[in-house]
Chain A
Amino acid sequence: NAGVMQNPRHLVRRRGQEARLRCSPMKGHSHVYWYRQLPEEGLKFMVYLQKENIIDESGMPKERFSAEFPKEGPSILRIQQVVRGDSAAYFCASSPEFIGAFFGQGTRLTVV
């Protein structure tokens, strides 16, 4: 049973470009969470999704950020018109339900 898979591991984007981060949850897990980690800080919650539904997006910036978890395929975190402040590690986690989440290895986004 493969763990939570995130790709790419590293992503470099120029200011103004779009960044698209992918997350495939563990088999059988229907809950996906996205977190952001700035250097030397803890993880901050961004969004919680179930298949085709956004359950809680209270941690998502109001502009430029969006997330989806379609019926088929991975969950996608999309950042439009990236800025230097978006540089961070983005983690995806999945859980079956009401159990501690299992994390992917993260995507390190660098905006140049």
Chain B
Amino acid sequence: AQTVTQSQPEMSVQEAETVTLSCTYDTSESDYYLFWYKQPPSRQMILVIRQEAYKQQNATENRFSVNFQKAAKSFSLKISDSQLGDAAMYFCAYRSGIIQGAQKLVFGQGTRLTINP
């Protein structure tokens, strides 16, 4: 079974600076998807960014980018120019890409990100 590990329960960063959240995963599959979700105090789960394992290029969405290291099974999230609105729980998630019916997301434990003004 696949597992996702976020080793940083909490992180903090000064407003306008850059922060990197870590995520590692374990799988024997070669085809899969990785995601970062943000959960602010409202509890809404918001998709931040996604990466297809077959793509070598790291995904980027505005101030959010990933460092996808397939061989190391690492998928970190970099937030540039941090803003107060970025404060939230961040969850890394894995989804198999090949098995019909196995579309469930496997989540890490989460990292609570605090932005210091």
Q: Which residues in A have some Cβ–Cβ distance to B below 8 Å? A: 31, 33, 35, 40-45, 48, 55-56, 58-59, 89, 91, 93, 95, 98, 100-103, 105-106, 108
A contact patch SS: strand
Within 8 A of A (CB), among B25-73: 33, 35, 37, 42-47, 50
How extensive is the interface on chain B, given as a class? Answer: 20 to 34
Instruction: Tell me the number of A-to-B contacts counted with CB atoms below 8 Å.
Output: 60
- Near A by CB (< 8 A), chain B positions 81-110 give 91, 95, 97, 101-110
A100 lies within 8 A of B104 (CB):
no
Cβ–Cβ < 8 Å partners of B91 in chain A: 42-43
* CB-CB under 8 A for A101 and B105, given A41-B110, A42-B110, A43-B91: yes
Are B43 and A105 within 8 A (Cβ)? yes
- The answer to whether A103 touches B108 (Cβ under 8 A) is no
A89 touches B43 (CB 8 A): yes
Given contacts A41-B109, A41-B110, A100-B35, contact A105 B42 (CB under 8 A): yes
B106 and A45 form a contact (CB under 8 A)? yes
By the criterion CB–CB under 8 Å, are B104 and A42 in contact?
no
Q: How far is the CA of A75 from the CA of B95 in the complex (A)?
A: 22
How many Å lie between the Cα of A102 and that of B35 in the bound state? 12
CA distance A58 to B103 in the complex (A): 12
